[in-house]
Amino acid sequence: MKDCGLISGNELFQKSYVKAHEKEFLKLVENGQNPKALYIGCSDSRVVPDLMTNSAPGDLFVIRNIGNFVAPYKPDEDFHSTASAIEYAVSVLKVKNIIVCGHTHCGAIEAIHNKSCSDDPELVHTNTWLTLGEKAKSQAVLALGPDADRESLFRLTEKLSVVSQIENLLTYPSVKKRVDNGTISIHGWVYDIGSGEIDYYDPESSQFLPISSLK
């Protein structure tokens, strides 16, 4: 592997950040992890959960996938990486919060509208995975109309998808049980890549509002 900045970056990380936080890292080794939240976000390289929340190592248990999607609960013995991580975070790590975080200018959302992956044989798994955003797409088209401005349609779909993924998350018995008894709270976020701002979903008003308003 040629050094494209990652190898030298790790060297700098060891010499600067790790050295400056040596005690904290040793505590993580000795005590294990006790994350504040399960974060379910997109694999998009422009979205960095630790950076955008100013979180330290050990704060977030992170799941990232195309489109920050959550497949509905399916109790079989197939390979379900997102489901496995959800189960582990909830039943083993006992997280108190779950964040489903979408973001602006999401390539997955645009692909769903443009059907840009549907005919590519090299994207067979991606095409199947993107069906998890179809409900949000349909709702956005219904709300704005098929002739709506594309950017407006994309932005609304990104928000509606977060709500849809939360609905899928609640099909997991371990999650639903803990939400019902008040030991887990679920939060829907949309991160603006350009500004760094985060809006949160308010179920009472069915709107996304600035997260800064919660302070």
In sequence order, the β-bridge partners of residue 208 are: 201
The tokens 């992170």 sit on which residue?
62
Distance CA 88, CA 68 (A): 18
Distance CA 203, CA 190 (A): 14
DSSP category for residue 5: S
The tokens 């489109």 sit on which residue?
67
Cite the active site residues: 42, 44, 46, 103, 106
Cα Dmax for the chain: 57
Distance CA 49, CA 7 (A): 21
Distance CA 63, CA 69 (A): 10
Distance CA 141, CA 133 (A): 13
The tokens 């991606």 sit on which residue?
126
Helices 150-169 and 134-144, interaxial angle, to 10°?
130
